[in-house]
Structure 1
Amino acid sequence: MVRLGTVCWLALLGSSLAFGRIDREEISDYLGVPMMTHGRNVSYDIPDPDLPEISQWLIGNPNRINLGRIGLKYKGDTLAASQITEPRQELDLWTGVIKSIFKVDGSLVKVTTRGDFETDAVTFDIESKLVRSGDLKVELDFPYPPIHTTKYKYEVFTGVYDFPSNHTTSIVPERLPGSAHIYHEMQETSYFVNLGWPLTSPLKLSRDEPEGSDKLNAHRYTLASAWSSSTISFTARFSPEKEHADLPLLVKARNLIGWEKYWSEGGFVDLTSSSNPNATELQRRIVQSQYHVQVNSASKGQTPQESGLMNNGWYGKFHMEMVVWHAAHWATWGRQKHFDAIFPEVYETLLPSSLARAKAMGWEGARWPKMTELITGRSSPGGINGLLLWQQPHPMYLAELAYQSKPTRETLKRWDRVLSATADYMASYAWENGTTGKYDLGPPSYGVTENTPPAETRNLAYEIAYWRYGLDVAREWKKKLHERVPEKWTTVAENLALPPQVDGLYAVYDGLNSSWWEDPKLTSDPRSLIMMQGILPNTPAVDPEVALRTADKVWDIWGDARIRGWGRPVLAINSARIGNPERAIYHLTAYDYWIFDDAGFAVRGGAGGTPPPFMPGNAGFLYAVAYMAAGWRGSQSDTPGFPNDGSWVVRHEGLLKAP
């Protein structure tokens, strides 16, 4: 099917679709997997080998789904790509309008697509003499979520058409002219596609197959011109309720206003006066990334999944450890309203389940999940999910971003409950080592790079530094509110073990010797060590001189070809922080290794079948650019991350310093 525009506003799917019925196991049977943790058994959210179906089911459910597919039909059949000639598509970034022009059997077709700022709707204007002749029509089709399997690490969930009997669709009667409705029901999930069009260009909706059909096109519909017209113009609004879709002209009007407001507010970086040959491509990436984060990440109440709204990779779930990389840029680019639309609401929503999780595991406070969704708040039981640590102090980092933008008592009160619950957990989770007299973290634990042996991993360097930072922020937060600082927070913060060192350099975790630098499993991704003096603000846990030497060593052994995902942004930030702007700009302009496609999507790279795009790449890139242009708390000069060699002329406005 030739898509006029991907309809990717997503709903949450009820929790029985991925496997349908499970005959031999009950969801209530899953209680986690116990692991010995400092003298007691603690149940972690990891796959239970005795309950493989339930474990996989819990990973996959609930999940987001693709709501529908809208395309073209030519002479009664789905228009195939092979039937299209001379295609050209342009996106106007200022207005958010996509214009597609192509030919079918020599006849010109023009399609204009707009997304709505205020509703889950999309509008189309289709112009062609093929519309007038009745040969070209609109096709709507409704997939069923694929059956989740363990065959692929990451699945691309665009929906399948192999199970027509598992769901139902129907046309809902409508007496009001200029509108129609399709109802789609899939077990616990149901919604309407509300269609609207101008009375001056009437359309008619019909179903291709009768209700109850078991054919692959059982849920396919046709929208066609009701009279002799060369234009089809309509709005498709997806909603849990039956309602009237706004007319295309109204959506167009507010779409123009919304995009102009977006581009006119907030920050911007202008490199157009630079003579450096890398400046033009860097400018392209800056502008296109701002567009993509608005479309994929300007959400309410949660961050997107790592593949944004393009597809349903990672089972359609978002990752709590990635929320900083998804959303911190909103604050430093002066678009705080988008930041505030997510935080702290996502934590408030997940707070009850996180408090219950910590209590069930024998700790105080709130233990935040990893890969999750908002219905259950469950941490999907993946092999790494239940043991990952670095998402726990994120609320402190994000709260500091919020306070920097609006340093008021209102901000302090808004975040206080979340920070207190987080700090309570962090202080409770750390355990006092009777031998050293210090508080340790783990085992079992996984760190940022997820490549250490969890049963042996204690005192991960970045995580323990982040723990100290987080507890310090929580303590200062209470002082600003003129409230008592819990004694346990202070005891643990000031007696945490320091990040481990070997031969004057930081090591990934405690117990390693200098030979770890020759261990390919660990050196294939040592980004956690550069995060200690990069994304992490200054903290007493980190010695700047040791961190500087470690960063240089990491760069010596971490080759360009192995860096992927958000590795480049964090390398750029680290390089700027340690006073090496030449290396910082290198990381942002290593175009042979860090690929942005022609649409401006950052490519994650590496193995693993990861579905594109990779939104933390674009969002992390923007965070790094703001870091390098506006600086960070304590930086003195302007544009500290850009070389002062005369080839870079960096003008910026509306940016805020990072923490």
Structure 2
Amino acid sequence: MGLVVAVWLLVLPSLVLGRIDREWVVSKYNVVRTSLIDNETTPLQVGNGNFAFGVDNTGMQSFLPFNTLSSWAWHNDSLPTNGELTDYTGVPMLTHGRNVSYDIPDPDLPEVSQWLIGNPNRINLGRIGLRYKGSTLAASEITEPRQELDVWNGVITSTFKVAGEQVKVVTQGDFESDAVAFQIESDLVLSGELLVELDFPYPPIHSTTYKYEVFVGVYDFPENHTTAIVPPVHKDTAHIYHKLQETNYFVNLRWPSSSPLTLSQPKNATGLATHRYTLSPHRRTSEVSFTALFSPDKQTPASPSTIHRRNIHGWNEYWNNGGFVDLTSSSNPAAGELQRRIILSQYHVRVNSAATGQSPQESGLMNNGWYGKFHMEMVVWHNAHWATWGRQEFFDDIFPGVYETLLPSSLERATKMGWEGARWPKMTEVTTGTSSPGGINGLLLWQQPHPMYLAMLAYQASPTNETLHRWDRVITATADYMASYAWKNESSGYYDLGPPSYGVTENTPPEETTNLAYEIAYWRYALDVAITWKAKLDHHIPTKWKTVAENLAPPPQAGGLYAVYEGLNESWWSDRSLTDDPRSLIMLQGILPDTAVVDPVVAKKTADKVWEVWADEDIRGWGRPVLAINSARIGERERAVYHLTAYEFWRFDDAGFAIRGGDGGTPPPFMPGNAGFLYAVAYMAAGWAGSEGRAPGFPQDGSWDVKHEGLLKAL
């Protein structure tokens, strides 16, 4: 208990070696592309965390229909024809002598189960590209492409030639609305050969085929939805209304009144042209600029010049505030690439992950992995970095709001399953709060204690009664469930977790998996936090919380090392099905702060064993960040940096997006990779509760000069 209480101490932001020239460092890592990209290349994006617009080489969505995604834009497929949604009640599994219905696909209701997995799903709000001589501009018509993302200012500048004529497109997002602004310059605009084209896809039926959508939506069901220009069209504004069954919204357009545009659609358009519109200059000019604002409401957007000013101001403010790490004086040959990843990751999380009221999905706002839904077990990896990088406002925009939104459905879920408190879902969205059925989804455990970890990050940033009260309801419901879920084993006298259960690595037999080491330790940590939280509020502490916390089964060991779950003997280290991903044991002294039940000596020996058996080619996803954190915690600084700089194995693409790797089958980006990487960097640069010295996660061999400012210590 004392170790948990210790982390309540406020850790002040670190400031090392004075002020860093942030603009100079950031601008060194602008992204430049000089070759045409294809559909396997991550697009560059502009956006604000709730909205993002991905671009091809034209700075628009001309020859590649990349996505325009928003936090509010969701859609439901047509209802299944074989079964009613209300027929689904989960799948019963024997749980300590009683049948409990878990969120698992029902083999007797395959269509209903798949509908619940895939709905609601994010929609692509529309494509904005270029049209040349009456047809959508093709990649084969483009030569001499050059595109640069100005990271400091959040501006994408694209130049290329079409028929030998130069074209320049400047693309910017807006931090204050779901808008994107363009400025297009070319003599082809003057001649009338180059126009702006807008087109609207229709969401496909989300079977397992569409588990990962690089291009969200299809263009071959024009009769299933409607679009129309909403009169009147003013001198400087126009509006397109898009209706897809229950999802309706506007594309609000605005241009300078001194350079008016005409929004039009071919008369009697049919087939693929049904939802295709053009923007063209009202009078002869070589330059076009306009704003496109996507919204459920008809609005007047900000002008392109206004968005230009406030976009640059917003990005400059983002870079000048919060934490920063400067490795540019380091002589280590790996420092340059590490710095590039630090800078570009900060850009990408601002565009893809700075949402309001919800956690980002795995692929951010670039494409639809998992139908656009987020994973509750990943919210720490997605968002903890906001706190340690001194950007608490983005953390507070999500927490505890996402839990408060999901609380009613989570309370209902626990009650139906025969437990108290709130059982948090695994894969979900905030519209319905439904826990999407899945073989793993219904049995995963480690998302349940997350509120306590996140609450501690919030309290570290602001140790006030306001923070305590703000999180109290969520913590209470969480602890009530955790104490209720733990089962009293009369034979051992301990409280057990599972079976059935899945742990972090999702690779153990669920009906045999009891007392997963990491989950046991995390359960104890979270209950201790809840008890301390109540004590600080001078509230009654439920006896059940204390009883379960003090009598949880210990994390299992075999041969003097921690084992993944109870019942394994030493031979498990030769079982490839387990050792191809033993990260849960690393997490005992990785992301998890010191707890009363984790022996640091045993944890260190276990980490050393994992270092021996976990092959580089098997480490994927957020495995590297947690390995780096663990290595720093146990004093293995060289090992910590190795994990962040194993560039041959842990790849970030040319735009700085983390690639998941392994057998996940998911297209980039993998946002928990970028965000987890940032968390590990802050951990190693600023330290953690109890760490001492400068940059305690980096080797002191003279090759690393780690300057940082504005960071907070981790828990």
What interval of TM-score do these two structures reach, taking the shorter chain for normalisation?
over 0.9
Report the counterpart of residue 457 of structure 1 in structure 2: 513
Q: Is the 8 A contact 1:13 1:62 kept in 2?
A: no
Residue 479 (str. 1) matches residue 535 (str. 2): yes
Report the counterpart of residue 680 of structure 2 in structure 1: 624
The within-5 A match list for 1:204-243 is 204-208=262-266, 210=268, 213=270, 215-243=271-299
Q: Is the 8 A contact 2:255 2:290 kept in 1?
A: yes
Q: Is the 8 A contact 2:59 2:157 kept in 1?
A: no
The within-5 A match list for 1:272-291 is 272-291=328-347
SS of the residue 2:508 aligns to: coil
Report the counterpart of residue 634 of structure 1 in structure 2: 690
Deviation, 1:282, is: 0.6
1:297 to 321, 331, 353: 353
Q: Distance in 2 between matches of 1:505 and 1:593?
A: 27
Q: Distance in 1 between matches of 2:116 and 2:226?
A: 25
Q: Distance in 1 between matches of 2:310 and 2:467?
A: 31
Q: Is the 8 A contact 1:157 1:316 kept in 2?
A: no
Report the counterpart of residue 147 of structure 2 in structure 1: 89
Q: Distance in 2 between matches of 1:11 and 1:134?
A: 36
SS of the residue 2:638 aligns to: helix
The within-5 A match list for 1:31-110 is 31-110=89-168
Report the counterpart of residue 665 of structure 2 in structure 1: 609
1:136 to 191, 194, 203: 194
1:582 to 638, 658, 670: 638
Q: Give, as a single letter, the amino acid of the residue that structure 2 aligns with 1:253.
A: R
Deviation, 1:11, is: 5.1
Q: Is the 8 A contact 1:366 1:421 kept in 2?
A: yes
Q: Give, as a single letter, the amino acid of the residue that structure 2 aligns with 1:229.
A: T
Report the counterpart of residue 551 of structure 1 in structure 2: 607
Deviation, 1:13, is: 5.7
Q: Distance in 1 between matches of 2:279 and 2:552?
A: 65
The within-5 A match list for 1:126-205 is 126-151=184-209, 154-205=212-263
Q: Give, as a single letter, the amino acid of the residue that structure 1 aligns with 2:173.
A: G
The within-5 A match list for 1:316-395 is 316-395=372-451
Deviations 1:240-260 (A, max 9, x none): 011111110111111111111
Q: Is the 8 A contact 1:154 1:608 kept in 2?
A: no
Q: Is the 8 A contact 2:233 2:239 kept in 1?
A: no
SS of the residue 2:604 aligns to: helix
Deviation, 1:435, is: 0.4
Q: Distance in 2 between matches of 1:139 and 1:524?
A: 49
- Count of residues paired in the alignment: 655
SS of the residue 2:208 aligns to: coil
Deviation, 1:426, is: 0.3
Deviation, 1:216, is: 2.3
Deviation, 1:154, is: 3.5
Deviations 1:320-356 (A, max 9, x none): 1000000000000000000000000000000000000
Deviation, 1:24, is: 2.4
Q: Is the 8 A contact 1:153 1:608 kept in 2?
A: no
Name the stretch that deviates more: 604-613 or 338-347.
604-613
Q: Give, as a single letter, the amino acid of the residue that structure 1 aligns with 2:276.
A: R
Name the CA shift for 1:490/1:614 in 2 (closer, same or farther; >3 Å): same
Deviations 1:368-389 (A, max 9, x none): 0011011110010011101100
Q: Is the 8 A contact 2:211 2:369 kept in 1?
A: no
Deviations 1:574-604 (A, max 9, x none): 0000000000000000011111111110111
Q: Is the 8 A contact 2:628 2:680 kept in 1?
A: yes
Q: Is the 8 A contact 1:161 1:217 kept in 2?
A: no
Q: Give, as a single letter, the amino acid of the residue that structure 2 aligns with 1:198.
A: P
1:437 to 489, 493, 504: 493
Q: Is the 8 A contact 2:113 2:437 kept in 1?
A: yes
What is the root-mean-square deviation in Å for CA atoms of aligned residues?
Answer: 1.2
Instruction: With the length of structure 1 as denominator, give the TM-score of the two structures.
Output: 0.98
Report the counterpart of residue 112 of structure 1 in structure 2: 170
Q: Distance in 2 between matches of 1:503 and 1:468?
A: 23
Q: Distance in 1 between matches of 2:460 and 2:164?
A: 58
Report the counterpart of residue 8 of structure 1 in structure 2: 68
Q: Is the 8 A contact 1:25 1:51 kept in 2?
A: yes
Higher relative contact order (CA 8 A, sep 6+): 2
Q: Distance in 2 between matches of 1:423 and 1:604?
A: 33
SS of the residue 1:386 aligns to: coil
Name the CA shift for 1:38/1:22 in 2 (closer, same or farther; >3 Å): same
Deviation, 1:564, is: 0.6
Report the counterpart of residue 321 of structure 2 in structure 1: 265
Deviation, 1:15, is: 5.8
Q: Distance in 2 between matches of 1:449 and 1:7?
A: 31
Q: Give, as a single letter, the amino acid of the residue that structure 1 aligns with 2:596.
A: P
Deviation, 1:209, is: 5.9
Structure 1 outlier segments of 4+, above 6 Å? none
